[in-house]
């Protein structure tokens, strides 16, 4: 078994460890975002951590009714003209905590006297040293280059902060997720379809909306990392504003449509995509969505939508793994990639 496969299956235990060890810390950190002087949130991140940041935009925005935006690290590094951060709380999300440009955003925020939070798997990393508060991911060592359990636990860390703000119901729902995630991995392994028809694909498109917008980007990233395919992620609205013109007969489109308020707008795309001859791969717990797809990737039902990114990414992880294996590629060492990427 590859490291990637083993780490993918370690995700429920890693999530349980995070919830058990860091719920108290998450409650302390949640208080930062409730401060009277915090009017908006800035998130610094790169790679798969930016897909977690997209999740955080929804959850922290909902919890505190404040704007949540991405930092522009180049303003802090190559241009040396950082913005004024009055009123901001600043979060750095980095699994390794080693990326200099992410750490530079937190360093500048501290210089300006703003509260800073690091979400990282390495508590003595440069990012952690720049933070007023650190939320450790508790994922353990991750050897495969493509992140699975550190990505999942990064989602879990954001969910912990949200639940601490939202109250006991949300906390109870999150506590059930390690078992639900275990069920999802079992379901995805048991129902994994043959993907031979996609072995010669040159690319694909992934579509999702709302709290799963980041899931679309993460699935696209995993397939690109492991197989080298050109895969792009869109919301339904962004796809319809031009990029749909590139969808030709036979082009694979992964639609991520779990139960929740965002599902109808994703499901509404299926018909026009099929009319263009796209091959639909559906990630959903809704029977009607799955029936309309050529390839079905079912989800465990009755997962609260705000937590569905923790399960919806699993079929995407397995799909990325299988596509790479079909191509005879080394899933633990994708060509040209390193586990830690140092960007400035």
Per-residue pLDDT averaged across 235-240, rounded? 94
Percentage of the chain beyond pLDDT 90 is 92
**What are the tens digits of pLDDT across the range 66-110?**
999 999 999 999 999 999 999 999 999 999 999 999 999 999 999
**What are the tens digits of pLDDT across the range 277-335?**
999 999 999 999 999 999 999 999 999 999 999 999 999 999 999 999 999 999 988 87
Domains detected in the chain:
3-175 (3.40.50.10490), 182-326 (3.40.50.10490)
The pLDDT of residue 251 is above 70:
yes
The pLDDT of residue 339 is above 60:
no
Q: Average pLDDT, whole number, for the chain?
A: 95
The pLDDT of residue 217 is above 70:
yes
Which pLDDT value is given to residue 135? 98
Which among 308, 302, 256 has a CA at the least distance from the CA of 283? 256
Q: pTM for this one?
A: 0.96
326 near 232, Cβ under 8 Å? no
Please spell the DSSP secondary structure of 82-101, one letter per residue.
PPP-TTEEEEEE-SSS--HH
Partners of 279 in the β-ladder:
252
For the beta sheet containing 133-136, the strands, ordered from the edge strand earlier in sequence to the opposite edge, are: 68-70, 40-45, 88-93, 116-120, 133-136
Which pLDDT value is given to residue 332? 87
pLDDT level of residue 341 (50, 70, 90 thresholds):
low
Which pLDDT value is given to residue 344? 64
């Amino acid at each position: 078994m590859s490291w990637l496969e083993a780490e993918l299956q370690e995700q429920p235990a890693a999530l349980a460890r995070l919830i058990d060890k860091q719920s108290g810390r998450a409650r302390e950190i949640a208080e930062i975002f409730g401060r009277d002087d915090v009017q908006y949130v800035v998130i610094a991140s790169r790679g798969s951590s930016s897909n977690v940041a997209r999740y955080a935009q929804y959850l922290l925005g909902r919890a505190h009714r404040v704007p949540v935006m991405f930092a522009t690290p180049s303003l802090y590094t190559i241009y040396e003209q950082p913005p004024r951060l009055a009123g901001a709380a600043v979060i750095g999300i980095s699994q390794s905590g080693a990326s200099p440009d992410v750490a530079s955003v937190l360093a500048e925020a501290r210089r300006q006297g703003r509260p800073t939070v690091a979400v990282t798997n390495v508590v003595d990393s440069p990012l952690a040293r720049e933070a007023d508060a650190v939320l450790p991911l508790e994922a353990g060592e991750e050897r495969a280059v493509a992140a699975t359990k550190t990505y999942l636990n990064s989602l879990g860390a954001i969910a912990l902060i949200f639940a601490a703000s939202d109250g006991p119901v949300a906390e109870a729902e999150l506590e059930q997720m390690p078992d639900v995630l275990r069920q999802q991995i079992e379901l995805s392994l048991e129902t994994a379809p043959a993907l031979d028809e996609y072995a010669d694909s040159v690319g694909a498109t992934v579509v999702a909306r709302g709290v799963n917008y980041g899931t679309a980007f993460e699935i696209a990233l995993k397939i690109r990392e492991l197989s080298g395919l050109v895969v792009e992620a869109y919301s339904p609205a962004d796809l319809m504003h031009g990029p749909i013109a590139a969808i030709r007969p036979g082009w694979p489109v992964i639609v991520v449509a779990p139960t929740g308020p965002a599902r109808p707008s994703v499901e509404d795309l299926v018909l026009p995509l099929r009319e263009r001859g796209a091959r639909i791969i559906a990630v959903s717990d809704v029977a009607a969505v799955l029936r309309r797809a050529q390839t079905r990737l079912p989800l465990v039902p009755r997962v609260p939508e705000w937590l569905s990114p923790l399960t919806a990414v699993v079929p995407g992880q397995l799909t990325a793994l299988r596509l790479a294996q079909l191509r005879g590629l080394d899933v633990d060492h994708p060509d040209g990639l390193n586990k830690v990427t140092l960007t400035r």
